[in-house]
Amino acid sequence: MKTSDRGTAFIAAQEGIVTRAYRDVAGNWTIGAGHTAAAGQPKPVRGMTMTRDEALAVLARDIAKCEPRVASALGVGSQAAFDGGVSFDFNTGAIDRASWVAAFRDGNVASARAGLMEWNRAGGRVVAGLISRRNAEAALIFDGDYGDKKRPVAEDALSADTTSLQRDLAALGFYAGPLDGIASQALTSAVAAYQKSHPDLVADGIAGPATRASIARDRAARRAAGTSAGSAAAAIASAGIAVHAGAAHALAVGGTVMVLLAVVAAAFLVLRWGDEFRRAVTSTTKDR
């Protein structure tokens, strides 16, 4: 079985076509429709560019490499399920080891769908874009929905996505407006400002795949730095408490030693000068 034209269009839409090399959320150099060095030539590097037609040609070659694995893993199925499987394997390279595939072949749709949705991480963290992609692939594989028919998009979904972008840019210091889910000119300007600060991005004010991936990496780095700083502060505070406690303990021990020394000294004086002291006291008493 081969990927259909609708399937290819589905994958292109999920990946987005970027004509200038960028690093994805996992840090891999990427170009075209999600093409990385792992898929073969050309090897994306900083500054590489390609036309849209070249990107689609590379996509076709990359898809062809996935098809035998998908056919073997899924077995007999619908064209939509095959296309969805190719999209999954194109993104993860894991069609032959994903547990949801066995459930799919056994006809356990609920288990297969749930297993597919677990593939939502990149670089060890959950990525909103992967949650969205898995939802789209699930609709394609299990419901035959390519998502290419005109239908209204829920306003709350658009708002949530825009709010997420606003929140990320605000955390990175590029957006100071309200987190209201409205795609305003202020947000476009913030996106452009962010892009200008990253030479590998095109400063067009559009939050496409390359820009989103870059923002996700920066946010992850910022969170990691914050966690490290918090751990360091806690370690310093703990060390300070330990030093303070140690000092208090030392003072307490020192005080005890001083008392003991005083007692020993007093005993020595009594033993050494006791008789003289008693005679002096007796003599003074008689004189009185």
Could you say which DSSP state residue 49 is in? B
| pLDDT one digit per residue (tens) for the chain, 288 residues | 999 999 999 999 999 999 999 998 888 999 999 999 999 999 999 999 999 999 999 999 999 999 999 999 998 789 999 999 999 999 999 999 999 999 999 999 999 999 999 999 987 788 888 999 999 999 999 999 999 876 555 666 677 788 989 999 999 999 999 999 898 999 999 999 999 999 888 889 999 888 988 998 898 888 888 766 665 555 555 555 444 444 444 434 455 445 445 544 554 444 444 444 344 433 433 333
Distance, in Å, from the CA atom of 218 to the CA atom of 198, rounded to the nearest integer, reads 11
Which of 26, 17, 47, 25 is closest to 199 using CA atoms?
47
Residues written for the chain: 288
Domains of the chain: 5-143 (1.10.530.40), 155-228 (1.10.101)
Backbone angles phi, psi at 198, to 5 degrees: -125, 100
Q: Tens digits of per-residue pLDDT, 10-56? A: 999 999 999 999 998 888 999 999 999 999 999 999 999 999 999 99
Q: Which residues contact 121 (CB under 8 A, 6 or more apart)?
A: 127, 130
d(CA 172, CA 178): 15
Opening angle at CA 148, ends 166 and 215, nearest 5: 25
Q: How many CB atoms lie within 10 A of CB 11?
A: 24
Residue 163 burial class via C-beta count within 10 angstroms: exposed 0-12, middle 13-18, buried 19 and up: middle
- Count of beta carbons in the 10 Å neighbourhood of residue 26: 16
Q: Give how far Cα 103 sits from Cα of 48, 73, 111, 119, Å.
A: 41, 11, 6, 15
For the record, the structure tokens of 286 come out as 């008689």
CB-CB contact of 10 with 140 (8 Å): yes
Phi-psi region of 273 (alpha: psi -120 to 50; beta: other; left: phi over 0): alpha
Residue 142: closest CA among 89, 92, 80: 80
Q: Where are the alpha helices (DSSP H) in the chain?
A: 5-15, 52-74, 79-92, 99-105, 109-117, 128-143, 155-171, 185-196, 209-287
